[in-house]
Amino acid sequence: MSENENYDVVVVGGGAAGLNGALALARSRRSVLVVDAGDPRNAPAGHVHNFLSRDGTPPSELYAAGRAEVRRYGGRVEAGRVTALARDGERFGVRIGAPASERTATARRLLVATGVRDVLPDVPGLAARWGIDVLHCRTATAGRSGTSASASCPPARPPSTRPCCSSNSVRT
């Protein structure tokens, strides 16, 4: 990879939101680079739910399909971690990688789609069951045939005022 690659947009985060944004931009003939650290929030989940035409799809398959769509329109998608962002006049400098193999890309715009990170309470066995039968969103898993959540983290606010899947999460 060359130093100082230039793009219209660098997307930080290769989950559903980042890939969808990158797809729209690439289809609009914008040069796009997606940098994905590869640790999506829903990695422990067996399937994606409440996602039109993809209900029941494993998250890894959804992301693979999204990466292929972005590439089909000329976008670049790569594994890596953004380590720094800086504004330099009309462009943003985006540092990618570890110090020994770091490089810089520049972009006219940034799309930061890093999502949220669940912060689990210190309860023995909770982390091992997270996404299996201890679930973060009762709504997304409610329709699974023959199953019910054995545990669910309580909402931070009354259900009528909180968006789905946001309880006990912090932005990263």
All residues at 6 or more sequence positions from 148 whose CB lies less than 8 Å from its CB, including other chains: none
Amino acid at 129: R
Tell me which residue of 36, 5, 33, 24 sits closest to 113, measured CA to CA.
Answer: 36
Verify that 108 and 132 share a domain, yes or no. Answer: no
- What's the number of domains the chain is made of? 2
Please identify, among 114, 131, 160, the residue that sits at the C-terminal boundary of a domain.
114
- Domain end residue (candidates: 69, 95, 114): 114
Q: Is the same domain home to 37 and 53?
A: yes
What pLDDT was estimated at residue 66?
Answer: 96
Range of the domain at 61: 5-114
Q: Domain boundary residue among 114, 136, 159?
A: 114
Local mean pLDDT, 10-residue blocks, the chain (172 residues): 78 95 98 93 76 86 96 96 94 88 94 87 88 68 51 49 41 38
Helical ranges in the chain per DSSP H = 16-27, 59-72, 126-129, 138-141
- pTM of the predicted protein model: 0.75
What are the pLDDT digits (tens) for 67-105?
999 999 999 999 999 999 999 999 999 999 976 789 999
- What strand order describes the sheet that includes 103-112? 76-79, 32-36, 5-12, 103-112, 91-96, 82-88
If asked whether residues 142 and 104 sit together in one domain, one would say no
